[in-house]
Amino acid sequence: MPFANLGSAGSLADNHRMTQRKSELDAVAIALLLGCCLFWGFQQVLMKATLPELAPAFQAGLRFVAATLLLWVWCVWRGIKLWQDDGSLPAGLLAGALFAGEFACIYVGLQYTTASRLTLFLYTAPFWVAVLLPLWVPTERLRPLQWLGLCCAFLAVMFALGGGFTGALATPAHWRGDLLALSAGLLWGLTTITIRSSTLMRVSAEKLLFYQLGMSAVALPMLSLFFGEKWHWHFSAFAWGSLAAQALLGAFMSFLAWMWMLGRYPATRISVFVFLTPICALLFGALWLEEPVTLSLLAALSLVALGIVLVNRPAARNVQSPDAAHTPLQGG
């Protein structure tokens, strides 16, 4: 889920200076992309399934504390510097705060709405970026085809929200969850905009990720205390396994794999894979949690997929290098 969410190919320059970029996706890239999207869709369902044992902000805090420690160990082992003064601290703290807010909305929102609906609304993030980024980066102005993609996204949200007027979803709680999911998508988009328009474009992938994970590791436990959530350590084997998967596979390995791919493969080729995440969340939610699969939700997923492809479609006569293309978002 989308991380982090969140770097650009430019931030990988220091780590991949000696790596030759490829113009096409090879079998390794496709396998990694499929694995990331599959897990990001699954982890929303996993997080929701763990809520009966672990309160949302407490669960999120444990996840990011563990992931931050893993990333720190990785950086020590690889000799990657995290503490040098490079002028990125203000932007890094802002990006980290936005990232923490995104995951607070995700975990709390899962209490009220289905994992599949939450993932759909979360993946409106690319469209927030497309609309807002040109205010800070004028070269990112939208083309007519991209505006068409935004229209598809708007219709998708309307289809999905329409499901909240009828049946089991017609409750204030579900609306609360949907609005939290939309807020998470907006915060994800603002995180990306902060990165794209600041000095964070020049820091290493590991340091960029450390800002986001570290801020979340501090803010989410504090939020849990503010909510008055009960902290306890007598978990079932399932809850321990869920936390391990969320921290190791979700917040650490998949995020680093995504950033590694951004530094090696064309960003526009990678970005079209993100639409698989909501589809995976829909399938896992239906199979595991028996969440309803409605026609409006299927129509919304289709429109989101089409919209993401259109928004990320390169211009016919684009002379930019692959590194300068639109930054694909990372799964949340």
pLDDT in tens, 91-106: 999 999 999 999 999 9
Q: Residue 221's pLDDT is what?
A: 97
Query: Encoding tokens for residue 150?
Result: 């935004």
pTM for the model stands at 0.81
Q: How far apart are CA 101 and CA 110, in angstroms?
A: 14
Residue 59: the pLDDT is 96
* Separation CA 150–CA 96 (nearest Å): 27
> For residue 303, what pLDDT is reported?
78
Domain ranges (residues) in the chain = 9-324
Task: Let me know: does 88 contact 202? Beta carbons within 8 Å.
Answer: yes
pLDDT in the model for residue 106: 96
Alpha carbon distances (Å) from 35 to 71, 78, 251, 280: 20, 24, 14, 11
Q: What is residue 106's three-state secondary structure?
A: helix
**Residues 6+ away with beta carbon under 8 Å from 156:** 120, 124, 299, 300, 301, 302, 303, 304, 307
Segments in the chain below pLDDT 50: 1-19, 165, 318-328
Secondary structure class of 99 (helix, strand, coil)? helix
Q: Would you state the pLDDT for residue 244?
A: 96
8 Å CB contact between 209 and 4: yes
pLDDT of residue 39: 93
d(Cα 294, Cα 65) in Å, to the nearest integer?
37
